[in-house]
Amino acid sequence: MNPSPTSHEVVILGAGMSGLCMAIALRRAGIHDFIVVEKSPGLGGTWWDNRYPGAHVDVPAPLYSFSFEPNPRGRRRFAAAPEIQAYMAHCAHKYGVLPHLRLGRRITAAGFDESTGRWAIACDDGTRCSARFFVCSTGPLSQPRWPDIAGLHHFQGLRLHSARWDASLPLQGRRVAVIGTGSTAAQLVPPIAAQAAQLSVFQRTANWVLPRPDRRYHAIDRALARLPPYAAAVRAFWYHALEWGRRGFDEGTRARRGMLAAAAAHLARQVPDAALRRRLRPPHALGCKRLIYSNDFYPALMQPQVELVTDPIERITPQGVVTADGHERRFDALVCATGFDVAHLAAALPITGRGGRRLGDAWQGGAQAWHGTMVAGFPNLFFLLGPNTATGHTSTLLYIEPEVHFAVRAMQRVQRAGRRWIDVRDEAMRAHNQALQARLQGSVWAGCRSWYRQGDDGRIVALWPGFTREYVRALARARPEDFELR
Ligand code: NAP
Q: Indicate which atom in ligand 1 lies nearest the CA of residue 390.
A: 34
Ligand 1: which residue has its CA nearest to atom 45? Answer: 205
Ligand 1: which residue has its CA nearest to atom 3? Answer: 339
Please tell me the predicted confidence (pLDDT) of residue 141.
Answer: 84
Mean pLDDT, the chain, integer: 95
DSSP state of 291: P
- Tens digit of each residue's pLDDT (9 = 90 or more) over 427-473: 999 999 999 999 999 899 998 999 899 876 789 999 999 999 999 99
Integer Cα distance of 222 and 414 in angstroms? 43
Ligand 1 mean position, distance from CA 363 (Å): 24
Q: Indicate which atom in ligand 1 lies nearest the CA of residue 181.
A: 9
Worst-scoring range by mean pLDDT, 2-11, 24-33, 463-472?
A: 2-11
Q: Does the pLDDT of residue 344 top 60, yes or no?
A: no
Q: Does the pLDDT of residue 1 top 70, yes or no?
A: no
Residue 144 amino acid letter: P
Kindly list the distances between the CA atom of residue 371 and the CA atoms of 352, 414, 429, 476, in Å, as whole numbers in the listed order. Answer: 20, 20, 8, 11
Integer Cα distance of 139 and 387 in angstroms? 10
Please tell me the predicted confidence (pLDDT) of residue 369.
Answer: 97
DSSP state of 166: -
3-state SS assignment for residue 103: strand
Which residue, 466, 434, 405, is CA-closest to 18? 405
Residue 457, judged by CB atoms within 10 A of its CB (0-12, 13-18, 19+), counts as exposed
- Tens digit of each residue's pLDDT (9 = 90 or more) over 109-141: 999 999 999 999 999 999 999 999 999 998 888
- Tens digit of each residue's pLDDT (9 = 90 or more) over 45-87: 999 999 999 999 999 999 999 999 999 999 999 999 999 999 9
**Which of 449, 451, 453, 463 most suits a substitution to test ligand 1, by most atoms within 8 Å of the C-beta?**
451
Q: Give just the sign of the alpha carbon dihedral 186, 188, 189, 194.
A: positive
| CA 90 remoteness from chain centre | 21
- Tens digit of each residue's pLDDT (9 = 90 or more) over 175-184: 999 999 999 9
- Tens digit of each residue's pLDDT (9 = 90 or more) over 363-415: 988 899 999 999 999 999 999 999 999 998 999 999 999 999 999 999 999 99
pLDDT mean over 211-235 = 96
Ligand 1: which residue has its CA nearest to atom 16? Answer: 147
Residue 134, judged by CB atoms within 10 A of its CB (0-12, 13-18, 19+), counts as buried
Ligand 1 mean position, distance from CA 96 (Å): 35
**Which of 51, 87, 184, 453 most suits a substitution to test ligand 1, by most atoms within 8 Å of the C-beta?**
184
Ligand 1: which residue has its CA nearest to atom 22? Answer: 180
Instruction: Tell me if 71 sits within 8 A of 61, measured CB to CB.
Output: yes
Ligand 1 mean position, distance from CA 230 (Å): 35
- Tens digit of each residue's pLDDT (9 = 90 or more) over 51-60: 999 999 999 9
Which residue, 436, 431, 419, is CA-closest to 482? 431
Q: State the pLDDT confidence band at 3, using cuts at 50, 70 and 90.
A: confident
3-state SS assignment for residue 290: coil
Please tell me the predicted confidence (pLDDT) of residue 457.
Answer: 77
Q: State the pLDDT confidence band at 4, using cuts at 50, 70 and 90.
A: confident
Q: Indicate which atom in ligand 1 lies nearest the CA of residue 392.
A: 34
Ligand 1 mean position, distance from CA 180 (Å): 6
Instruction: Tell me if 371 sits within 8 A of 389, measured CB to CB.
Output: yes
Ligand 1 mean position, distance from CA 214 (Å): 22
Ligand 1: which residue has its CA nearest to atom 10? Answer: 180
E-strand stretches of 269-365: 292-293, 306-309, 313-316, 320-323, 328-330, 333-336, 351-352
Q: Does the pLDDT of residue 231 top 80, yes or no?
A: yes
Ligand 1: which residue has its CA nearest to atom 14? Answer: 338
pLDDT mean over 341-345 = 70
pLDDT mean over 278-285 = 97
Ligand 1 mean position, distance from CA 46 (Å): 14
Ligand 1 mean position, distance from CA 84 (Å): 21
Residue 289 amino acid letter: K
Integer Cα distance of 445 and 288 in angstroms? 4
Please tell me the predicted confidence (pLDDT) of residue 245.
Answer: 94
Q: Does the pLDDT of residue 2 top 70, yes or no?
A: no
Integer Cα distance of 440 and 436 in angstroms? 6
Ligand 1 mean position, distance from CA 405 (Å): 31
Integer Cα distance of 350 and 360 in angstroms? 7
Ligand 1: which residue has its CA nearest to atom 41? Answer: 57
Integer Cα distance of 209 and 266 in angstroms? 8
Q: What is the per-residue burial (b if ≥16 Cβ within 10 Å, else e) of 194-218?
A: bebebbbbbbebbbbbbebeeeebe
Residues above pLDDT 90, as percent of the chain: 92
Helix (H) or strand (E) holding 118: strand 118-123
Integer Cα distance of 217 and 182 in angstroms? 27
Ligand 1 mean position, distance from CA 11 (Å): 31
Tell me the residue length of the chain.
486
Strands 118-123 and 128-136: antiparallel
Please tell me the predicted confidence (pLDDT) of residue 236.
Answer: 97
Within 6 Å (CB) of ligand 1, which residues are found? 56-58, 141, 147-149, 179-185, 187, 202, 204-205, 290, 313, 337-340, 449, 451
DSSP state of 358: B
- Tens digit of each residue's pLDDT (9 = 90 or more) over 242-258: 999 999 999 999 999 99
Q: Indicate which atom in ligand 1 lies nearest the CA of residue 204.
A: 47
Instruction: Tell me if 150 sits within 8 A of 315, measured CB to CB.
Output: yes
Long-range Cβ contacts of 274-277 (<8 Å, 24+ apart): 276/301, 276/302, 276/308
Integer Cα distance of 373 and 367 in angstroms? 11
Q: Indicate which atom in ligand 1 lies nearest the CA of residue 141.
A: 30
Q: Indicate which atom in ligand 1 lies nearest the CA of residue 183.
A: 25
Against a cut of 0.85, is the pTM above it?
A: yes
Ligand 1 mean position, distance from CA 196 (Å): 22
Residue 21 amino acid letter: C
Ligand 1 mean position, distance from CA 313 (Å): 16
What's phi and psi for 9, nearest 5 deg?
A: -75, -40
Ligand 1 mean position, distance from CA 316 (Å): 19
Ligand 1 mean position, distance from CA 333 (Å): 19
**Which of 77, 204, 280, 294 most suits a substitution to test ligand 1, by most atoms within 8 Å of the C-beta?**
204
Please tell me the predicted confidence (pLDDT) of residue 80.
Answer: 96
Which residue, 329, 407, 328, 463, is CA-closest to 137? 407
